[in-house]
Amino acid sequence: MQHLNYLIKNSMNILTEIIEVSDEIIDTLKEEKFFEETPFINELALKRELQKHMQYNWEQTNSMHLNDGQFLEIINDLIAEGVSKGLSDLIESGHIQSAVNPDGELCYSLTGKLLDI
């Protein structure tokens, strides 16, 4: 039972540390205006992804820290998701139309419908 209590306490400590470190990363990115300059990344989504990957690292390597490649992969995945969602929203709203050209490539064009900003 004592070993189980130790594991639970240790697990809670690392989860608290992961939350604290991810909060620090987000705060630093805010200070550097990262979210203003990278509009396709949602702050909360990035925080969740950081925490998820940090916990996975901890479980696999006993280190929660992400290397540059892991961090950039998270960023690139979130940008791709944001762009894809934004494009899908514009297609659904009728602002952009898509078609396949003779080479089989997907092409997009504006429909001329005004955007409500």
Question: What is the tens place of the pLDDT at every residue in 21-64?
Answer: 999 999 999 999 999 998 889 999 999 999 999 999 999 998 99
Question: What is the tens place of the pLDDT at every residue in 59-87?
Answer: 999 899 999 999 999 999 999 998 888 88
Angle at CA 94, nearest 5°, toward 89 and 97? 90
Please tell me the distance from the alpha carbon of residue 22 to that of residue 49, in angstroms, as a whole number.
Answer: 9
The pTM (predicted TM-score) of the whole model is 0.73
Q: 106 - beta bridge partners? A: 100
